């Protein structure tokens, strides 16, 4: 199991929710195997975190990626999850909505699900919201962020008032924070956006913290300079420089080929892909001609140079002796590296260590 830099326990979560009104609860509970499997190493801790959230009347937000089977979705809801932002199909979204989940829709689902919902006769959109998640900055600069999602919802058929509620009061109610945010009303906090067109979500002015922050697409306030402390920037601790040998995958003695498990970005596929790969001098080889390279996760926290590695397809470099590594790697942000050679992978990870984080291409 992947190692993180720390772990929260029951009391941490309870204190966060009690002491800080900006903490709504337990967010993005995604480790469904730990929740549903009593023998799982994380089973007790995740249930304690959820119990701490219930005890302090917080909200438990889920992450149901790959949960499409009705029985598993029912179990997901029964376990205490209250929302999901990882829905892929309109049918799955409708089933989850019927089970009481607060549906958080990204742009790809907005386009697919809203026409389906309208066809099903949905008129009450109060349990639906539009959200962004891990969005590419280039996409945001090109089409916008929440303004794009609201506009897209209207284009797909949601009435204008309901579309704006999906980005304001609906999520505020879900988070149990509608007494302080989510609407422009006495006693509430709100940044205010003034539009020249409701249908186009054409933004003229943005007021934040009571100040005019932007006008006609131009940011007006000073950009603060942050002097980050060392503890926030000195966070990569692999423990030593890695070598190509660290990324070798050894075969059983005497083998000239093996059947290897192959991972891909569609990790929710229940069927494990495999491929026959050659063995040279006891080391299992990639097959770049079939788009089979190697991926590894390198522990950045303990200084023990722990490495998990396997073969990979569907993403990553194709050029001989190349690799790409990143310390931006949800959710624990260990170093992930993909490469067509072990030497390039070692160079990329070592450079990440020298830079104390970032993205490196070799």
The mean per-residue pLDDT over the stretch 25-35 comes to 88
Look at residues 167, 170, 158, 142 and name the one whose alpha carbon lies nearest to residue 199: 158
Asked if the 10-219 domain carries CATH number 3.20.20.140, the reply is yes
The model's pTM is: 0.85
Domain with CATH 3.20.20.140 in the chain: 10-219
- Does the pLDDT value for residue 360 go beyond 90? yes
State yes or no: cis peptide before 35, omega within 30 of 0: no
- Per-residue pLDDT tens for 170-226? 999 999 999 999 999 999 999 999 999 999 999 999 999 999 999 999 999 999 999
Q: What is the rounded CA–CA span in Å between residue 362 and residue 360?
A: 7
Alpha carbon of residue 166 to chain centroid: 21
Q: What is the rounded CA–CA span in Å between residue 323 and residue 243?
A: 14
Q: What is the rounded CA–CA span in Å between residue 137 and residue 139?
A: 5
pLDDT on residue 221: 97
Helix runs in 179-276, H state only: 230-233
The mean per-residue pLDDT over the stretch 317-346 comes to 95
Contact (Cβ atoms closer than 8 angstroms) between residue 220 and residue 209: no
């Amino acid at each position: 199991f992947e190692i993180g830099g720390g772990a929260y326990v029951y009391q941490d979560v309870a204190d966060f929710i009690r002491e800080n009104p900006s903490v709504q609860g337990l967010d993005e509970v995604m480790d469904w195997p730990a929740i549903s499997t009593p023998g799982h190493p994380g089973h007790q801790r995740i249930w304690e975190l959820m119990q701490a959230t219930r005890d302090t009347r917080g909200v438990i937000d889920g992450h149901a990626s790959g949960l499409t089977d009705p029985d598993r979705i029912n179990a997901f809801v029964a376990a205490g999850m209250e929302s999901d932002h990882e829905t892929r199909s309109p049918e799955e979204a409708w089933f989850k909505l019927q089970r009481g989940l607060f549906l958080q829709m990204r742009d790809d689902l907005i386009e697919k699900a809203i026409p389906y919902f309208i066809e099903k006769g949905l008129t009450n959109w109060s349990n639906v919201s539009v959200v962004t998640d891990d969005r590419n900055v280039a996409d945001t600069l090109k089409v916008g962020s929440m303004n794009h999602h609201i506009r897209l919802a209207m284009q797909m058929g949601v009435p204008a008032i309901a579309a704006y509620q999906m980005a304001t009061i609906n999520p505020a109610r879900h988070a149990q924070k509608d007494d302080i945010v989510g609407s422009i009303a006495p006693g509430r906090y709100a940044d205010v956006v003034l539009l020249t067109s409701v249908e186009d979500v054409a933004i003229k002015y943005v007021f934040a913290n009571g100040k005019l922050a932007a006008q006609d697409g131009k940011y007006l306030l000073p950009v603060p300079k942050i002097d980050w402390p060392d503890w926030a920037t000195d966070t990569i601790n692999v423990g030593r420089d890695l070598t190509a040998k660290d990324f070798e995958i050894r075969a059983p003695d005497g083998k000239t080929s093996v059947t290897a498990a192959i991972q891909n970005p569609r990790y929710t596929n229940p069927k494990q892909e495999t491929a026959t790969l050659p063995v040279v001098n006891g080391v299992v080889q990639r097959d770049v001609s079939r788009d089979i390279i190697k991926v590894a996760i390198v522990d950045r926290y303990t200084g023990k140079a722990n490495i998990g590695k396997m073969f990979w397809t569907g993403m990553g470099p194709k050029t001989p002796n190349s690799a790409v590594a990143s310390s931006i790697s949800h959710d624990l942000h260990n170093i992930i590296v993909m490469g067509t050679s072990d030497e390039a992978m070692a160079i990329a990870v070592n450079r990440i260590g020298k830079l104390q984080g970032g993205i490196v291409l070799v």
